[in-house]
């Protein structure tokens, strides 16, 4: 049965900081993941006021379906279409979501029917980036990246190419991959895992 209420929470990631003069400023950031929650009645018997376009199914059918959504760890599309009494479209909710939590409640006053409390969270796709570097030194030209030992002839400036990362650069040319944090600080790189093609990186 259609839920009687639906809660959609747009999460905030803004950060308020206090300046030296005690004044506050708000750092605006990308909104967080949207959260959706609702309670839905799952009847165990057919009701005359309900419509069953695909035939009536008992509660076990829906409980098995929602358990599958949780155990398979897959996202799905959550769509709500709202219309006025005249039939005109008001607005839609269309989110890619994951099933976070659900609670099955049984109460004597509801007879055999069940109440399902569901919490969903918006899903945003993501992936890692790969980079490749070209290492150049004035008067010498492009350096080979096959060496894993630091040397006096190692270049001090690198141009990032596809397939490389800061960890490997420091391992090959500084002899210590953990120096990626120091190199990131020198180059004002906030996240050592995020470097991009064409970026110039100083190693000393």
Q: What is the CATH number of the domain that holds 180?
A: 3.10.350.10
Tens-digit pLDDT profile for residues 82-114 = 888 888 888 888 999 999 999 999 888 888 889
Q: Which long-range contacts (CB under 8 A, 24 or more apart) does 116-120 make?
A: 116/39, 116/40, 116/41, 116/42, 116/62, 116/63, 116/66, 117/37, 117/38, 117/39, 118/37, 118/38, 118/39, 118/40, 118/66, 119/35, 119/36, 119/37, 120/35, 120/36, 120/37, 120/78, 120/95
Total domain count, the chain: 2
Contact between 13 and 28 under an 8 Å Cβ cutoff? The reply is no
Who wins on pLDDT, 128 or 167? 167
What is the token pair recorded at 64? 């098995």
Q: Is residue 2 part of a domain?
A: no
The answer to whether residues 98 and 138 belong to one domain is no
Most confident option among 31-35, 126-130, 189-193: 31-35
With 60 as the cut, is the pLDDT of residue 37 above it? yes
Domain ranges, residue 103:
7-122
Who wins on pLDDT, 102 or 169? 102
With 90 as the cut, is the pLDDT of residue 122 above it? yes
With 70 as the cut, is the pLDDT of residue 146 above it? no
Task: Say how many C-beta atoms besides its own lie within 10 A of residue 22's C-beta.
Answer: 6
The answer to whether residues 100 and 154 belong to one domain is no
Output the pLDDT for position 144: 47
Cα–Cα separations (whole angstroms), residue 165 to 49, 194, 199 = 61, 8, 11
Angle at 165 between CA 160 and CA 168, to 5 degrees: 115
With 90 as the cut, is the pLDDT of residue 35 above it? yes
The answer to whether residues 100 and 23 belong to one domain is yes
* Number of helices followed by number of strands (H, E) in the chain: 3, 11
The answer to whether residues 156 and 109 belong to one domain is no
Output the pLDDT for position 153: 53
With 70 as the cut, is the pLDDT of residue 151 above it? no
Threshold 0.85, pTM exceeds: no
The answer to whether residues 115 and 23 belong to one domain is yes
What is d(CA 167, CA 133) in angstroms, rounded to the nearest whole number?
A: 12
The answer to whether residues 19 and 110 belong to one domain is yes
């Amino acid at each position: 049965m259609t839920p009687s209420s639906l809660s959609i929470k747009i999460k905030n990631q803004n950060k308020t900081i206090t300046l030296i003069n005690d004044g506050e400023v708000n750092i605006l950031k990308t909104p967080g993941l949207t959260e959706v929650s609702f309670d839905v009645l799952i009847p165990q018997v057919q009701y005359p006021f309900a419509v069953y376009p695909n035939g009536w199914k008992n509660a076990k059918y829906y409980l098995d379906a929602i358990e599958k959504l949780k155990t398979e760890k897959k996202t799905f599309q959550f769509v709500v279409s709202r219309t006025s009494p005249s039939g005109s479209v008001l607005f839609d909710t269309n989110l890619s979501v994951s099933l976070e939590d659900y609670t099955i409640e049984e109460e004597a006053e509801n007879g055999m029917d069940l109440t399902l409390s569901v919490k969903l969270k918006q899903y945003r796709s993501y992936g890692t980036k790969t980079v490749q570097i070209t290492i150049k030194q004035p008067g010498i030209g492009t350096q080979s990246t096959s060496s894993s030992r630091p040397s006096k002839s190692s270049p001090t400036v690198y141009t990032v190419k596809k397939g490389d990362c800061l960890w490997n650069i420091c391992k090959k040319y500084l002899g210590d991959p953990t120096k990626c944090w120091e190199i990131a600080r020198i180059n004002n790189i906030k996240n050592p895992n995020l470097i991009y093609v064409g970026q110039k990186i100083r190693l000393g």
